[in-house]
Amino acid sequence: MRAERLIFLALGLKDCLAQTWTYRGCFLDDPAKRTLKLFTNTNNNDQTIQSCTGTCASLGYGWAGVEFGHECYCDNQLNGATQAPESDCSMPCRGNASQVCGNGNRLSVYTTGKDYAPPTTNPGPNGWTSLGCYTDSVNARSLRFQRSIDAGANAMTVAACTQACKSAGFSVAGLEFANECFCDTKLQSSATQASDGCDMACAGNSTEFCGGSNRLNVYKINGASTTPPATSIPAGWRSL
């Protein structure tokens, strides 16, 4: 077994034990249906196997994959993955040319081997209520205003997003694609409830869902309306 395929990763001073990552093989990947769903936004020129597995471990994930030499993905399971020939994963890592970091649409996959509880829908942080899963589109946003959180996208959680929206004066919050946060005073008319698709764990908390691709987990402040108030028109007048 090559040295880089069994990695002992120190998780920091708070963790006295090292965590073992084992190489699981080369797998197909598809941008429309990711083998590992969380893209960590750490696709940089310093990417190595250790940096990717370290990122995934710090976020609470037990699976990590490197792709195209510099992209890092995390999850707690393989999602409909198909194994590819080992020769397909042949691109050197940008941060360490002696290591292999997948290839185009190919993931070099590592796992801790631990069992992780699947994520669930957060019923709502204190003072907030979950409204469920809703559709979204870049051309017709269900919630119009995107917000960032101080800790960065990789720390995104339901609590962090709802707090960011509340601090900005919004009463409705939604999380999408594991690490995106949107706010508004109401759901827009383009929003429709979805029966599936909110299946990505939050980047900062692998135990709860943060939407999916074109899907929002939506929350509202208790007592707030999600629809605009009705307009009262005086007698003898008409709306233009």
For the segment 206-221, what is each residue's pLDDT rounded down to a tens digit?
899 999 999 999 999 9
How many whole angstroms from its chain centre is CA 100?
Answer: 24
Q: Report how far apart, in Å, the C-alpha atoms of 95 and of each of 52, 71, 179, 196 are.
A: 11, 11, 25, 38
Domain ranges of the chain: 3-111, 128-221
The pLDDT value recorded for residue 19 is 63
Sign of CA dihedral 100, 43, 35, 56: positive
pTM beyond cutoff 0.85: no
Position 36 pLDDT exceeds 80: yes
Q: Using one digit for the tens of pLDDT, what is the confidence trace for 44-87?
A: 889 999 999 999 998 888 999 999 999 999 998 888 889 999 99
The pLDDT value recorded for residue 43 is 63
Q: Using one digit for the tens of pLDDT, what is the confidence trace for 122-176?
A: 999 999 999 999 999 999 999 999 999 999 998 999 999 999 999 999 999 999 9
- DSSP 8-state symbol, 212: B
The pLDDT value recorded for residue 178 is 92
